Copies of this chain bind each other. A is one copy, B any other.
Amino acid sequence: MENLLRYAEKLFDEVEIAVYRSREVSANVELNEISMTGVRSGAVTVIRGIKDKRLGLAIVDSDEENRVKEAIEQAAKMARLNSPDEKWVSLPKSGKYREKPKPNYELKEASPDVLVEMLVRAIKLTREMDKHATVAGGGGEISWNESHIMNSHGIDVSQEGGLSYMLLEFVGRKGNVVTPGITEFEARKDLNLNVEEAVERGLKKVSWAYNVKSSKNEEVPLIFSPEAIAFLFYGALFPAFSGERLVKETTPLAGKVGEKIASEVITLYDDPFHELSLLHAVSDDEGVPLRRNTIIENGTFKGFVWDNYWAKVYGTESTGNGQRDLRSGSIRIGLNTVVIEKGKRSLEDMIAEIERGYLVDGVQGAHSSNPDNGNFAVTANPAFLIENGEVVGSSVFLIAGNVYELLKQASEVSREQTVMPVMYTVVSPHIKFENVKIAGK
């Protein structure tokens, strides 16, 4: 790769070569049966070169020298055809990286058998614990990723690591009642996924869901699960932290640095080194060192996250949030591991003091939220009715509102945190919001 970088340097003013290798084994479940096992592996190399401020970008699904060389030439041709991007400043320079974490090498060579064994165990346990319940869907994946980022300003960083995850969707059928799908995730940086706990958590919710309660228009406290938080914030809140949106004036957080945007209980940072993070990386996809960035501290907005391009356009530096989309090859601003700080009391204690309210375990429709202003309209499903400190049944209702108003209604976060490997990796506690208006369905 060194030789290829030297070759590319002759064709461009600045150039970056990023090589990604991955392997993933997977297994799926459908209606209590294993429906598929798979093994996939591959390499992708992305060339990004700049000549007279003109961009050339080529992707090839290989790390072989001759094919990467062809891609370099393709990128050079493309740069000649494009117009200059007058906003272009430069690729990033080398920085100091943290010590590389030691990955678990069992993940690198894992067989799908490991997943099949876990899923069969989950199905068996489910049947034993509740004869009315099935594992309706889901599956598992063990992935291993290696990357090598190099550029003509001296960046040269390699990293590797893997993760395993499992997703189980439970459905119960009792008499006329078919429960909504109850989804449980487990994700780790080793193979020790806790099948038993995931099944127990899921079946507890299924047992609640057999008791269907109608919903009505009311104003009640809601406790959002980590999953519900991850989906809702992914659509309505996280994009607003992007520096690109600050430059383009499409974030409602413009001019809000130092201002309260949430209640005191909300502290949110992007921390790839958090103990529950699923990353092994020390740099982002442009080779910029990863670091912990505080975004909301006790309710106060602390600042935006940046990739190299938009940071330089704005006159600041990348925060290590340049992420590469391997379909388009382009770098986008993304969060590495969103962490919402945990609290002191357990979810159980939080539920115990609610006279009437709901535990919102999942939200649907969050993808149509509007990050330009924070508006959202979602269906809470499954949601569990809490009466006199106890969960008494399940329900479905609508919540339409604004994520910034919701953030100000946050009154407590639970002691337990869960990592959700959904889109961004999100580490979140349960969060309680006071006086939320809901619409019965």
* Minimum-distance CB pairs A-B, first 4: A38-B59, A40-B61, A33-B82, A36-B57
Interface residue A37 (Cβ < 8 Å from any Cβ of B): yes
Contact A39 B57 (CB under 8 A): no
Interface residue A120 (Cβ < 8 Å from any Cβ of B): yes
Instruction: Find A36's partner among B59, B61, B112 (CB 8 Å cutoff).
Output: B59
Interface residue A78 (Cβ < 8 Å from any Cβ of B): yes
A38 touching B58 in the complex, CB below 8 Å, given contacts A28-B328, A33-B83, A74-B112: yes
Task: Report how far A139 CA is from B55 CA in the complex, Å.
Answer: 16
Q: Which residues from chain A sit less than 8 Å from chain B, CB to CB?
A: 28, 32-42, 55, 57-61, 67, 70-71, 74-75, 77-78, 81-83, 85, 112-113, 116, 120, 328-330
B residues in contact with A38, CB < 8 Å: 58-60, 329
Task: Report how far A211 CA is from B75 CA in the complex, Å.
Answer: 40
B residues in contact with A70, CB < 8 Å: 39
A32 touching B81 in the complex, CB below 8 Å, given contacts A42-B42, A60-B38: no
Task: Report how far A42 CA is from B59 CA in the complex, Å.
Answer: 14
Contact B41 A75 (CB under 8 A): no
Task: Report how far A116 CA is from B73 CA in the complex, Å.
Answer: 14
Chain B residue at smallest Cβ distance from A39: B60
A329 touching B57 in the complex, CB below 8 Å, given contacts A77-B116, A112-B74, A116-B78: no
B residues in contact with A34, CB < 8 Å: 78, 81-82
B residues in contact with A83, CB < 8 Å: 32-33
Instruction: Find A33's partner among B39, B55, B77, B120 (CB 8 Å cutoff).
Output: B55
B residues in contact with A328, CB < 8 Å: 28, 35-36
Task: Report how far A120 CA is from B83 CA in the complex, Å.
Answer: 11
Task: Report how far A329 CA is from B82 CA in the complex, Å.
Answer: 41
Closest-CB distance, A127 to chain B (whole angstroms): 11
Contact A37 B74 (CB under 8 A): yes
Instruction: Find A329's partner among B36, B55, B74, B116 (CB 8 Å cutoff).
Output: B36
**18 A-B residue contacts at CB 8 Å?**
A33-B82, A34-B82, A35-B55, A35-B57, A36-B328, A37-B59, A37-B74, A38-B58, A38-B60, A39-B60, A39-B70, A39-B74, A40-B60, A42-B61, A58-B112, A74-B113, A78-B116, A81-B116
Closest-CB distance, A59 to chain B (whole angstroms): 4
Closest-CB distance, A248 to chain B (whole angstroms): 13
B residues in contact with A60, CB < 8 Å: 38-40
B residues in contact with A37, CB < 8 Å: 57-59, 74-75, 78
A39 touching B61 in the complex, CB below 8 Å, given contacts A116-B77, A120-B81: yes
Task: Report how far A55 CA is from B32 CA in the complex, Å.
Answer: 13
Closest-CB distance, A134 to chain B (whole angstroms): 12
